[in-house]
């Protein structure tokens, strides 16, 4: 027996016979090593005069701390008169979020917690995780028909919880009830600005008093960046004429800047570690303030249906229409997968020469 740690578990060698190592930190908890080299955490205990054995999970997908906590949850359920098959949904959900919080960004964790709290727990809380069927999930999904976006975004969260149940041997492998359920079809909300609309937008941006909001909007037009990537820029991110983002949505990446974009940053006052500091707090410029200014700008330009994120869509679509490859545009936008970029290619029917001229006028020669 020894106190299990991740390093010790991963270092355990395969032998000709299956063997187990018990944990000194939690009685009955341990790891089983098969001749194939595969390992599984287990819990071996006794309750009401009967021996109790269950698999907890795979060291390849969960840490010792997570497995030990899952074992504690099983013991608590057992001592309260429930078997492992009677563990309720919210216990597994809590374990899943505890494990995935290391992989999710803070903002992703917060959003997923919202979907769990608002849309998933009201339907599944208190139900035995082993009893939830595909029909239950279909009924839940149907009940959210009035909020299709929330339903579609809640489904992956529910699926992760079900995968956690399988990894903990609380459901049979391959029994995820979320499989095969089709998402809601929603009207495409992507909006792409034409050359004429871009000209109107440029006129509206030049007509207002220069400010951090206006500079952010110009940079969004000139770079195709996400709003948060520009709002949260630090001066240390801008060097050698380009942006070196530490933590974009898809990880660290470089944003190559055109001359007009560099000029905007070079003349912008340096009053904080943030390129665009918040007006009333010590953090970066707020999304709320940017949206307030954007609502004024898009109204002045006659573009009331255009969202800030549509500037990114337009940048990508015009770049592809101008002859840039999907790979190149994907790198410009920081996409991990080519299929993410391909959704912008539907504008390829635009005359290439005209699109190239518009691209140059808007992203190159235009002076903010």
DSSP-assigned beta bridge partners for residue 245: 253
Q: What is the DSSP letter of 46?
A: E
Say how far apart CA 145 and CA 112 lie, in whole Å: 19
Residues 6+ apart with CB under 8 A from 3: 23, 24, 25
Please choose, from the candidates 98, 33, 89, the residue with its C-alpha nearest in 3D space to the C-alpha of residue 68.
98
Q: What's the Cα-to-Cα distance from 44 to each of 69, 78, 154, 282, rounded to whole Å?
A: 14, 12, 35, 52
**For residue 21, what pLDDT is reported?**
92
DSSP per residue, 2-37: B---HHHHHHPPP-SS-EEEEBSSSTTEEEEE-TTS
Residue 55 phi/psi, 5-degree rounding, is -80, 140
Say how far apart CA 5 and CA 60 lie, in whole Å: 13
Task: Output the six-digit token pair for 328.
Answer: 């190149």
Place of tokens 């992956």: 156
Residue 354 C-beta-side C-alpha neighbours within 13 Å? 8
- pLDDT tens, 34-83? 888 889 898 887 766 667 777 788 898 888 988 888 888 777 766 655 55
Predicted model pTM? 0.52
Q: Taking a C-beta distance cutoff of 8 angstroms, is the pair 362, 202 a contact?
A: yes
Q: Taking a C-beta distance cutoff of 8 angstroms, is the pair 347, 320 a contact?
A: yes
**For residue 366, what pLDDT is reported?**
45
**For residue 235, what pLDDT is reported?**
95
**For residue 312, what pLDDT is reported?**
82
Rounded to 10 degrees, the C-alpha dihedral 182/188/190/194 comes to 150
- pLDDT tens, 175-224? 999 998 888 775 556 677 888 888 999 999 999 998 999 999 999 988 88
Say how far apart CA 251 and CA 209 lie, in whole Å: 34
Q: How many CB atoms lie within 10 A of CB 187?
A: 5
183: left (phi over 0), alpha (psi -120 to 50) or beta: beta
Per-residue pLDDT of the chain (368 residues; tens, 9 = 90+): 788 999 999 999 999 888 999 998 888 899 999 888 889 898 887 766 667 777 788 898 888 988 888 888 777 766 655 555 557 788 888 888 888 887 887 878 889 999 999 999 889 988 888 889 999 999 999 999 889 889 999 999 999 999 988 887 788 888 999 998 888 775 556 677 888 888 999 999 999 998 999 999 999 988 888 888 899 999 999 999 888 988 666 667 788 888 888 999 999 999 999 999 998 778 899 989 999 999 999 999 999 988 888 888 777 776 665 555 545 555 555 555 545 545 555 444 443 344 444 445 555 444 45
Radius of gyration over every alpha carbon of the chain, rounded to an integer in angstroms = 27
Say how far apart CA 295 and CA 290 lie, in whole Å: 9
Q: What is the DSSP letter of 283?
A: S
DSSP per residue, 134-145: HHHHHHHHHHTT
Angle, helices 287-300/195-207, rounded to nearest 10 degrees: 110
**For residue 214, what pLDDT is reported?**
94
Q: What is the DSSP letter of 284?
A: B
**For residue 168, what pLDDT is reported?**
75
Q: How many CB atoms lie within 10 A of CB 72?
A: 13
Rounded to 10 degrees, the C-alpha dihedral 195/198/202/207 comes to 110
Say how far apart CA 88 and CA 306 lie, in whole Å: 44
């Amino acid at each position: 027996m020894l106190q299990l740690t991740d390093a010790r578990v991963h270092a355990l060698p395969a032998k000709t016979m299956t063997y187990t190592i018990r944990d000194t930190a939690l009685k009955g908890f341990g790891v089983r090593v098969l001749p194939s080299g595969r390992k599984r955490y287990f819990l071996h205990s006794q309750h009401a005069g009967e021996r109790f054995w269950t698999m907890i999970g795979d060291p390849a997908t969960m840490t010792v701390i997570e497995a030990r906590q899952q074992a504690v949850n099983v013991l608590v359920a057992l001592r309260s008169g429930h078997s492992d098959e009677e563990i309720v949904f919210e216990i597994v959900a809590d374990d899943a979020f505890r494990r995935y919080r290391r992989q999710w960004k803070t903002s992703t964790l917060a959003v997923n917690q919202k979907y769990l709290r608002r849309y998933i727990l009201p339907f599944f809380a208190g139900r035995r995780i082993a009893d939830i069927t595909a029909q239950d999930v279909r009924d839940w999904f149907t009940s959210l028909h009035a909020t299709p976006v929330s339903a579609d975004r809640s489904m992956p969260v529910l699926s992760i919880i079900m995968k956690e149940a399988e990894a903990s041997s609380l459901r049979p492998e391959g029994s995820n009830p979320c499989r095969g359920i089709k998402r809601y079809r929603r009207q495409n909300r992507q909006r792409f600005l034409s050359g004429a609309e871009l000209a109107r937008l440029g006129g509206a941006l030049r007509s207002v008093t220069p400010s951090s909001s206006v500079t952010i909007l110009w940079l969004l037009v000139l770079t195709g960046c996400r709003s948060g990537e520009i709002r949260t820029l630090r001066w240390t991110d801008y060097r050698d004429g380009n942006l070196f983002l530490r933590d974009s949505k898809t990880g660290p990446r470089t944003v190559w800047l055109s001359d007009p974009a560099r000029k905007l940053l070079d003349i912008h006052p340096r009053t904080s570690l943030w390129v665009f500091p918040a007006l009333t707090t010590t953090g970066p410029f707020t999304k709320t303030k940017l949206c307030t200014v954007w609502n004024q700008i898009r109204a002045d330009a006659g573009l009331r249906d255009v969202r800030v994120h549509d500037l990114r869509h337009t940048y990508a679509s015009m770049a592809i229409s101008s002859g840039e490859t999907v790979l190149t545009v994907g790198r410009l936008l920081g996409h991990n997968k080519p299929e993410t970029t391909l959704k912008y290619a539907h504008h390829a029917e635009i005359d290439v020469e005209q699109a190239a001229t518009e691209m140059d006028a808007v992203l190159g020669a235009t002076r903010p």
